[in-house]
Amino acid sequence: MYAPPLVIRVPEKGVSLIAPFDIFRVNAEDGALLWCATAETLESAKQRVQDLSATHGGQFVIVSLKTGRRLTIDPTNAQHDNPDSA
């Protein structure tokens, strides 16, 4: 099930900001991406993957909403793609 990215309202400016990273778990049966969370930074997204991997095994994908680039992480192995720091 996909949930939309976290939207943060900044009342004094009247501007909505979208968290720049989405975190997905890869479904082991069919490879589908299952949305798990959002994160403000790449480092916080990587930490969230580590936290999620304690209860959910398998691979995770961090997607930059700014660039569309993906970072695949298997907590039992190393990263698989280039990280996107922006």
How do the pLDDT tens digits run along the chain, 86 residues long? 555 555 544 555 554 456 799 999 999 899 999 999 999 999 999 999 999 998 888 899 999 998 999 999 998 775 555 554 44
Q: For residues 21 and 5, what is the distance between their CA atoms, to the nearest angstrom?
A: 8
Q: Containing domain of residue 29, as a range?
A: 7-73
Residue 20 domain-assigned (yes or no): yes
Q: For residues 57 and 68, what is the distance between their CA atoms, to the nearest angstrom?
A: 24
Residue 84 domain-assigned (yes or no): no
Split into its structural domains, the chain has a count of 1
Residue 66 domain-assigned (yes or no): yes
Across 27-81, the runs of DSSP E, i.e. the strands, are 33-39, 60-64, 70-73
pTM of the model: 0.70
